[in-house]
Amino acid sequence: MKLVRFGAPGAEKPGVLDAKGLIRDLSGEIGDLAGDALGRVSLDRLKAIDPETLPLVEGNPRLGPPIGVVPKFLGIGLNYRDHAEETGMDIPEVPIVFCKANSCVSGPTDPVLAPPDFQRMDYEVELAVVIGTPAKRVSKDDALDYVAGYCICNDVSERSLQKGGPGEWMKAKSYDSFGPLGPWLVTTDEVTDPQALDLTMDLNGERMQTGNTETMIFTVADLVSYISTYMTLMPGDVITTGTPPGVGMARKPRVFIKPGDEMVLHVQGLGEQKLKVVADG
């Protein structure tokens, strides 16, 4: 299934795409795509519903982030070998886990805000994993059983803060709108291998990033198992799994995003984000 949330910010309703790619309203079946609604029992029930029997959503509504409540928003640093190499950093021996504030979550076409004191804003196309079932100290072999689905994330970052000293990653990556998710939450039955997905990111029509999740240092299963050793992962938690090479800070000359820029992100089978940078203040 491709699950969506549509409507004005803060008033989104849950929906599902039908065979024609049209949105069908799920609000008569679930309150939101959050919490227990992301669990296996709930998703199996929704899969059994014929989308054609659900109300058709007319027009072209805004799509919000496809998860209604994100308790924890976790990122993974330097998880593509070629990205680590382009930054001059050592290949990590274990996953580098950081947090993004869940207040940075936004939709797949919402504006990316650029405050006047942020001068080194960067893009990162990533595969995001959404947890569906509480996971505590799970094995790698079982880890994918705890995943509800996958979506695109743009891990927007202000590099001057990220490089400003120890522990600054969260500040660099948590400004409002720095976590666009979606357009859809694609359930695991439609993603047969999360380690075989192409990723691209275009800036103003120019290809900046090209990669494939097969080059991750730590796989999705590795990450879910590893993180669950240190904290219980809850339904709706998002793990954004790292970015392939081509980020702006590693280019020569460097390229940073600014108001007026447009970004288009793709992850194979997960749709497209179209994001415009706008001045904030």
Contact indicator for 191, 144 with CB cutoff of 8 Å: no
Separation between Cα atoms, residue 233 and residue 132, nearest integer Å: 9
Instruction: Please indicate, yes or no, whether the overall pTM of this predicted structure exceeds 0.85.
Output: yes
Q: How far is CA 232 from the centre of its chain?
A: 20
Separation between Cα atoms, residue 131 and residue 238, nearest integer Å: 7
Q: What is the pLDDT of residue 88?
A: 74
| Sole residue written with tokens 């070998």 | 81
List all residues 6 or more positions away from 272 whose beta carbon is below 8 Å from its beta carbon: 108, 152, 183, 264, 265, 266
Q: What is the pLDDT of residue 165?
A: 62
List all residues 6 or more positions away from 251 whose beta carbon is below 8 Å from its beta carbon: 208
| Sole residue written with tokens 């999740």 | 213
Residue ranges matching CATH 3.90.850.10 in the chain: 73-279
Residue ranges with strand state E in the chain: 2-6, 13-17, 23-25, 73-77, 96-100, 105-106, 112-114, 121-122, 125-131, 147-154, 157-158, 179-180, 185-187, 198-203, 206-212, 238-240, 262-267, 272-279
Contact indicator for 107, 180 with CB cutoff of 8 Å: yes
List all residues 6 or more positions away from 152 whose beta carbon is below 8 Å from its beta carbon: 108, 125, 126, 127, 128, 180, 181, 182, 183, 265, 266, 267, 270, 271, 272, 273
Q: Please provide the CATH number assigned to the domain covering 73-279.
A: 3.90.850.10
Separation between Cα atoms, residue 220 and residue 132, nearest integer Å: 14
10-residue block means of pLDDT along the chain (281 residues)?
A: 97 97 97 97 97 96 98 95 76 93 98 96 98 98 98 96 76 97 98 97 98 96 98 98 94 96 98 98 81
Both tokens of residue 168? 């600054």
Separation between Cα atoms, residue 150 and residue 110, nearest integer Å: 19
